[in-house]
Structure 1
Amino acid sequence: MMAAPVEDKTPVSGGDLQAAVQELDGWVISITKRFRFEKWSDITRFMQHLAETIAATNHHPDVILDTGSKSVIVIVTTHSERTVTRADLEFARRLNEFKPE
């Protein structure tokens, strides 16, 4: 029986992470959150909050609506920089202000 390959699980952060991603064609660094809801009305309200946050910040995340789990997945990155910037963190902070009814 063949042994499983050993994975290098050394954390990569900061400048090392940025440099590594710059060498990987088409890849970017991002932050992701799944917002889960119990009621469809809360999803509707969240989507309105999301739209208002986009308008207020002029920042445009990728969004996935998962109807099966009643959740919205938001992926935030600054595409022009291929990494997470302070604008992304501010956007995430504003989204976290949403409170379901």
Structure 2
Amino acid sequence: MADKMDLQAALGKLDGWSAAEDGKHAITKTYKFDDFSTAFGFMSAMATQAEKADHHPEWFNVYNTVEVTLTTHDADGVTQKDIDLATKMDALASKLA
């Protein structure tokens, strides 16, 4: 099992992410793309990365917007797995912008 991190420490390692407002020990970010196709492409590419890492995001898509929430359920909080996936998401999103 991965070790749970302090939420503020985790957020300090990321740009544009915030604490989930629903009481979960989780981080969240909303990505906006030019169109649905780009948003869907982002999700498809990240789905492959998530599967390789055996760490899956909670996400929601409407047209050009993808809302992501990351937490490690078996640790009941944010772990390095979340930081790593968030970093990969940010890198891909910046290439698609």
- Corresponding residue for 2:54? 58
User: What are the equivalent positions in structure 2 for 1:1-101 lying under 5 Å apart?
Assistant: 14=6, 28-67=24-63, 70-98=64-92, 99-100=95-96
Let me know the Cα RMSD of the aligned residues. 1.8
How many corresponding residue pairs?
A: 75
Higher relative contact order (CA 8 A, sep 6+): 2
Letter in 2 for 1:72: V
- Deviations along 1:19-38, whole A, 9 cap, x unmatched? xxxxxxxx530000101011
- Give ranges in structure 2 of 5+ residues lacking alignment: 1-5, 8-22
Check the 8 A contact 1:77/1:88 in 2, yes or no.
Answer: yes
Q: Which has the larger radius of gyration?
A: 1
Deviation at 1:41, TM superposition (A): 2.0
Q: Pick which of 48-57 and 79-88 moved more.
A: 48-57
> What's the % identity of the aligned pairs?
28
Does the CA contact (< 8 Å) of 1:29 and 1:82 recur in 2? yes
* Cα distance in structure 1, aligned partners of 2:37 and 2:60: 17
**Mean CA deviation greater in 45-54 or 29-38:** 45-54
Which structure shows the bigger proportion of residues in helix conformation? 2
